[in-house]
Amino acid sequence: MELTVYNIKGEKTAKTVTLNDEVFNVTPNDHAIYLDVKQYLANQRQGTHDSLEKSTISGSTRKLKRQKGTGGARAGSIKSPLLRGGARVFGPHPRDYRFKLNIKLKRLARKSALSYKAKNNNIIVVEDFDFEAPRTKSMVELLKNLNINDKRTIFIVSEANKNVYLSSRNLSQTRLVKASNLNTYEIMNAHNLVIVESSINEIEQTFGK
């Protein structure tokens, strides 16, 4: 796939780039995408939730009333889940939600996500750029020039850029990601991928193995 390279003013340049079909034009595997996104979201969970059961809740163990002759149901403890302030039945306890996935499957998921974006024409390639100073206004102008200021966007760069990062930090729908740290969830969650020209080779080397 061949794409035109834009400058930060949103103008087409004379340059074009050819995206590797092994990364940007594979047959998407939806199940691989599902598993990789599921793993990413599971890894974000702290798993610190906890609840009090009868063995851990504080309260008297005295029998509330005699077993028979009251005309009501038996009641043996104030800790009963049936009573207000009582324990919880089969409540959650701290656990680790993380699970492992095969590296090849994760690579396939990322290539599938990139292929979906390429197929839907949601990839924009821009020249390498930098801002003189960290200003949110500079990033807003860039997004307007590319006509994507109202959509969730990921800027993919080859290396960390302090001015560009600080300029995009206050924009809720814009995120700066290094090519080596790109994941399936972020690709699928974004509407547009803005790839800085120098990061294309790193993307293809990382996911094209």
Query: What's the CATH number where 8 sits?
Result: 3.40.1370.10
Question: How far, in Å, CA of 30 to CA of 36, rounded?
Answer: 10
Domain count, the chain: 2
Q: What is the pLDDT of residue 171?
A: 92
Does residue 30 carry a pLDDT above 90? yes
Which residues are paired to 4 by β-bridges? 16
Mark whether 173 and 196 lie in a shared domain: yes
Q: Which residue has the tokens 């994760």?
A: 106
Mark whether 155 and 65 lie in a shared domain: no
Does residue 137 carry a pLDDT above 90? yes
Q: Which of 33-37, 76-80, 194-198 has the highest mean pLDDT?
A: 33-37
State mean pLDDT over 98-120. 95
Mark whether 114 and 62 lie in a shared domain: no
Mark whether 29 and 61 lie in a shared domain: no
- CA distances to 58, 77, 159, 163 from 128, rounded to whole Å, are 63, 70, 11, 13
This prediction has a pTM of: 0.82
Does residue 209 carry a pLDDT above 70? no
Q: Which residue has the tokens 């600080």?
A: 166
Question: How far, in Å, CA of 132 to CA of 116, rounded?
Answer: 34
Instruction: Please answer whether residues 198 and 158 qualify as being in contact, where contact means their C-beta atoms are separated by less than 8 angstroms.
Output: yes
Residue 76 belongs to domain spanning: 47-96
Mark whether 153 and 187 lie in a shared domain: yes
Instruction: Please answer whether residues 174 and 29 qualify as being in contact, where contact means their C-beta atoms are separated by less than 8 angstroms.
Output: no
Bigger pLDDT: 151 or 33?
33
Mark whether 158 and 195 lie in a shared domain: yes
Tens of pLDDT along 66-105?
Answer: 999 999 898 888 999 988 889 999 999 999 999 999 999 9
Instruction: Please answer whether residues 143 and 153 qualify as being in contact, where contact means their C-beta atoms are separated by less than 8 angstroms.
Output: yes
Mark whether 63 and 26 lie in a shared domain: no
Question: How far, in Å, CA of 59 to CA of 105, rounded?
Answer: 51
Tens of pLDDT along 158-192?
Answer: 888 899 999 999 999 999 999 989 999 999 999 99
State mean pLDDT over 19-43. 95
Bigger pLDDT: 208 or 30?
30
What percentage of the chain carries pLDDT values higher than 70? 100
Mark whether 21 and 82 lie in a shared domain: no
Mark whether 164 and 61 lie in a shared domain: no
Sign of the torsion formed by the C-alpha atoms of 58, 45, 153 and 198: positive
Q: What is the pLDDT of residue 208?
A: 76
CB neighbourhood size of 57 (10 A): 16
181-186, Cβ contacts within 8 angstroms, sequence gap of 24 or more: 182/110, 182/156, 182/206, 183/36, 183/40, 183/110, 184/33, 184/36, 184/37, 184/40, 184/106, 184/109, 184/110, 184/112, 184/113, 185/36, 185/37, 185/40, 185/41, 186/154
* Residue at 186: amino acid letter: E
Mark whether 154 and 52 lie in a shared domain: no
Question: How far, in Å, CA of 86 to CA of 121, rounded?
Answer: 57
